């Protein structure tokens, strides 16, 4: 029989450690007498101490370091703080602060977290994945660090993204921490500054490409099926060509999805649905313009298109509702050398600039996914307000420093008439004696619930229909009082209830599509809720 851990083996194990919250009886049981101060704290009192310490930090990056240090010594307290103060804490552990954390990752590195794969591991993937101490892995988030948020190629520093995403899987959807695996596919970096940084921890070579890259990913995916057969693989922050290549290669073979393409799409589709409750437009009548033509933007269109078809439009009519502009102007059929993923959305229309396209197309909704600050100019936004009584503006690029515009600018340029959502959190705006609460089109609304739904029913594939169901479920949770405040998303503090509803919708769709391996339970919502991790002592 395995001996129960005691003493410092307990205090130095983040899953077991409760710090000052160990009761008198527990201190005797685990041999902790003399190893802790006399005072016994409740978890609530410990949270108070954590929040006080956070408030003393001058910069968010210091708060980021502090919080993940807390996760490394007392996992349950970390998640209790995150769940109970999600509005305050999520911007620190995820966007926008995670962008700075990734940029500085090698310089603020404290302890290893997650799993690293390099080109030298070719042919040994099964062996090295077996080094991971947990066997019941259910969610894997993997990146190669080539397109981190709007910050570009950060190489192995991009590990901050899988770590942050999986913290939100646990806080938002109750996936157990030990069932989460962050993975960095460290295949080098084309960022010369990183390669010459003596503190950089990644492979100091230019990026692996072509067949060698594809074979490494294939070996990883194959090994995951053998070692973690119930795991969902989430591809994260891959450069657009690789993002689409990997999704199209594996989506019909294994349980996987790309959050930048599909999770973003479901989140924004939900926001569009909600915006029509303010604007009064029929969803099927909308004209939508995208500034930016990368994987995030075309991923949104790939989901909005079938949603428009579902609303009664023909395939061709639905395509004609979706317009794309890149740095060279409107994407039209006469343009040459366009990427394959954008070709379905080119229009039979004269080429023109961004502002001229707004004048010509007269979109109801403008969506930015450029990664470039200030690309929604005052002129463009004022044009949107001339065309629409209630223009919908989505400035989605992360982090905040790369957003297409700010909430303050949008409300001022539209005289307070805009419906606005951003990718990173936006501050409440007071304009002409009215208070506006901008929505945040953050993928954290969708991906945790999708993962929970897939885990609960043991789905063997993730489909676009599941993301359509997730978008419907998210939009249904927006209340009239939310819309009255100008926000098109439900309060983030309700993220667990949101994730549960999305998980139910995803599971139901999996059963409808005969993609679920677990029997359909008598009480779907109740059975999923029982699976959700509670970090309380």
> What are the distances in angstroms from CA 260 to CA 30, 132, 446?
45, 26, 11
In 3D, which of 470, 477, 534, 474 has the Cα closest to residue 507?
470
- The H or E element that residue 167 is part of is helix 160-173
Q: Which of 30, 94, 200, 244 is catalytic?
A: 94
CA distance 276 to 283: 7
Q: What's the per-residue H, E or C state across 36-54?
A: CCCCCCCHHHHHHHHHHHH
**Catalytic residue flag (residue 165):** yes
Kindly write down the DSSP assignment for every residue of 100-115, as one continuous string: HHHHTHHHH--S--SE
> E strands, 146-252, where?
180-185, 232-235
Cα atoms in the 13 Å half-sphere on the side-chain side of 167: 32
User: Peptide bond before 399: cis, by omega within 30 degrees of 0?
Assistant: yes
Residue 528 DSSP one-character state = H
**Catalytic residue flag (residue 411):** no
The Cβ of residue 209 has, within 10 Å, a number of other Cβ atoms equal to: 12
- The H or E element that residue 73 is part of is helix 60-73
CA distance 475 to 337: 37
CA distance 129 to 124: 9
CA distance 82 to 94: 11
> What are the distances in angstroms from CA 527 to CA 230, 455, 507, 512?
18, 12, 11, 18
CA distance 256 to 234: 6
Structure tokens at 214: 């594809």
Instruction: Provide CB contacts within 8 A for 353, sequence distance 6+.
Output: 329, 330
Q: Which of 18, 30, 64, 165 is catalytic?
A: 165
Known catalytic residues are: 94, 165
């Amino acid at each position: 029989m395995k001996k129960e851990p005691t003493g410092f083996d307990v205090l130095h194990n983040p899953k077991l450690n409760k710090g000052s919250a160990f009761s008198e009886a527990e201190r005797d049981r685990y041999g902790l007498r003399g190893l802790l101060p006399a005072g016994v704290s409740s978890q609530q009192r410990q949270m108070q101490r954590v929040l006080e310490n956070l408030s003393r930090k001058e910069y968010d990056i210091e708060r980021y370091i502090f919080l993940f240090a807390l996760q490394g010594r007392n996992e349950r307290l970390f998640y209790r703080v995150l769940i109970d103060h999600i509005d305050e804490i999520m911007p620190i552990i995820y966007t926008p602060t995670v962008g700075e954390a990734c940029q500085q990752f090698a310089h603020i590195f404290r302890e290893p977290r997650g799993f690293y794969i390099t080109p030298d591991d070719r042919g040994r993937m099964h062996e090295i994945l077996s080094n991971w101490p947990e066997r019941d892995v259910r969610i894997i988030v993997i990146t190669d660090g080539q397109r981190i948020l709007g910050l570009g190629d950060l190489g192995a520093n991009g590990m901050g993204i899988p770590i942050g995403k999986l913290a939100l899987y646990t806080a938002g959807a109750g996936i157990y921490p030990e069932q989460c695996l962050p993975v960095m596919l460290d295949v080098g970096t084309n960022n010369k500054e990183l390669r010459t940084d003596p503190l950089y921890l990644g492979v100091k070579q230019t990026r692996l490409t072509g067949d060698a890259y594809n074979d490494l990913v294939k070996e990883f995916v194959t090994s995951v099926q053998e070692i973690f057969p119930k795991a969902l693989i989430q591809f994260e922050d891959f450069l657009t060509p690789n993002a689409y290549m990997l999704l199209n290669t594996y989506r019909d073979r294994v349980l996987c999805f790309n959050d930048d393409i599909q999770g973003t799409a479901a989140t924004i589709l939900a926001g569009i649905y909600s915006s029509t409750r303010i604007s009064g437009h029929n969803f099927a009548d909308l004209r939508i313009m995208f500034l930016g033509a990368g994987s995030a933007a075309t991923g949104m269109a790939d989901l909005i298109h079938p949603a428009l078809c579902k609303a009664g439009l023909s395939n061709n009519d639905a395509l004609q509702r979706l317009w794309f502009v890149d740095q060279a102007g409107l994407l039209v059929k006469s343009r040459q050398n366009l990427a394959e993923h954008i070709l379905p959305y080119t229009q039979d229309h004269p080429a023109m600039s961004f502002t001229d396209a707004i004048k010509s197309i007269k979109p109801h909704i403008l969506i930015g996914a450029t990664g470039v600050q200030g690309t929604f100019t005052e002129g463009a936004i004022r044009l949107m307000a001339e065309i629409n009584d209630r223009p919908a503006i989505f400035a989605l690029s992360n982090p905040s420093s790369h957003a297409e515009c700010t909430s303050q600018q949008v409300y001022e340029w539209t005289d307070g008439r805009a419906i606005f959502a951003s990718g990173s959190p936006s501050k409440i705006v007071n304009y002409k004696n009215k208070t506006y609460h901008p929505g945040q089109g953050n993928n954290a609304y969708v991906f945790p619930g999708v993962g929970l739904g897939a885990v609960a029913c043991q789905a063997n594939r993730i489909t676009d229909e599941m993301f359509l169901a997730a978008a419907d479920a998210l939009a249904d949770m927006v209340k009239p009082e939310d819309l009255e405040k100008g926000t098109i998303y439900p309060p983030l503090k309700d993220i667990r209830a949101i994730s549960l509803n999305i998980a139910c919708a995803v599971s139901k769709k999996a059963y409808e599509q005969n993609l679920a391996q677990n029997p359909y339970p008598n009480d779907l919502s109740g059975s999923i809720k029982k699976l959700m991790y509670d970090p309380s002592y």
